[in-house]
Amino acid sequence: MRSFYGETLECRLMLGTAQYPSPAIMAEAFRASGAGVATVSLRREAGGPGGLAGQDFWALVEGMGTRILPNTAGCHTVKEAVTTAHMAREMFGTPWVKLEVIGHTDTLQPDVFALVEAAEILTAEGFRVFPYTTEDLVVAERLLAAGCEVLMPWGAPIGSGLGLTNLPGLRALRAQFPEVPMVVDAGIGLPSHAAQAMEMGYDAVLLNTAVAKAGDPAAMARAMALAVEAGRAAFAADPMEPRDMAAPSTPLIGRAFLA
């Protein structure tokens, strides 16, 4: 498996910690999924592991034994994102940060200009940045030049469950940077969406709402984990190319000729 900033994860599914009916259900979902990474919003847990607010939640997350990826969810400016990243590094004790700089309120589409600027600042300060971005090739080049070693293009708007809405764009991005670790982040609604991303050669999938809002979060988490595994196995198997015409699976040579 490709490494993320030098660290290899046993599971290619990354799972968010927000919106679950209860902390216990969240923990059950993580156990069912075997997720290799848990994203945690600093705004959700402002008290951090050392404060009064959020102590119980932090203890629960820490006890799951999952790699923590703090994020800057809800930030709309470079200054806000950079400040939040610094607080997250202090509270969670990791240089990893999922960098979000939101540019559009309704779609939660990233502000790619501010994203590149914030990434430059944070990588220069030793952060390991996972940028939540679009599938734009030029933006990807700028983020890599800024020091990012991972790209996290969206599949669709956060929480929409629409799946992969720009397949040609995601394929082009994967093909353009074949050696860069990439995670499809946001918009995944069904296990089939997750499998599709992995079949395209992406290295992992990050999702939250599809599991947290399911009728049975643990069962959906398990389904997502299986889909990610199946999709990656299919990619590694070098699947057949689609074709416009039918091709008989039974050879014509040797068929009996009936007059």
Q: Concatenated DSSP letters for 214-230? A: SSSHHHHHHHHHHHHHH
CATH number reported for the structural domain that contains residue 216 in this entry:
3.20.20.70
Report the pLDDT value the prediction gives residue 250, as an integer from 0 to 100: 74
Residue 14's Cα: distance from chain center in Å? 6
Asked if residue 93 belongs to a domain, the reply is: yes
- Look at 255 and 221; give whichever has higher pLDDT: 221
Asked if residue 150 belongs to a domain, the reply is: yes
Asked if residue 251 belongs to a domain, the reply is: no
The mean pLDDT of the chain is 90
Boundaries of domain holding 119: 13-237
Q: Give the model's confidence band at 146: pLDDT under 50 very low, under 70 low, under 90 confident, else very high.
A: very high
Residues marked active site are found at 98
Farthest-apart Cα atoms in the chain, separation: 87
Mean pLDDT of 36-48: 72
Asked if residue 254 belongs to a domain, the reply is: no
The model carries a pTM of: 0.89
**CB distance 16 to 39 below 8 Å:** yes
Report the pLDDT value the prediction gives residue 172, as an integer from 0 to 100: 97
Backbone angles phi, psi at 102, to 5 degrees: -80, 135
Residues contributing to the annotated binding site: 159, 186-187, 208-209
Residues contributing to the annotated binding site for 1-deoxy-D-xylulose 5-phosphate: 159, 186-187, 208-209
Q: What does the buried/exposed string (b/e) look like for 235-255 if buried means 16 or more CB atoms within 10 Å of the residue's CB?
A: beeeeeeeeeeeeeeeeeeee
Q: Give the model's confidence band at 45: pLDDT under 50 very low, under 70 low, under 90 confident, else very high.
A: low
Q: Give the model's confidence band at 196: pLDDT under 50 very low, under 70 low, under 90 confident, else very high.
A: very high
Domains held by the chain: number: 1
Asked if residue 244 belongs to a domain, the reply is: no
pLDDT digits (tens, 9 = 90+) for 62-114: 778 889 999 999 999 999 999 999 999 998 889 999 999 999 988 889 999 99
Asked if residue 250 belongs to a domain, the reply is: no
**CB distance 135 to 169 below 8 Å:** yes
pLDDT surpassing 50 at residue 48? no
**CB distance 222 to 33 below 8 Å:** yes
111 DSSP assignment: -
Asked if residue 4 belongs to a domain, the reply is: no
Q: Give the model's confidence band at 259: pLDDT under 50 very low, under 70 low, under 90 confident, else very high.
A: low
**CB distance 113 to 106 below 8 Å:** no
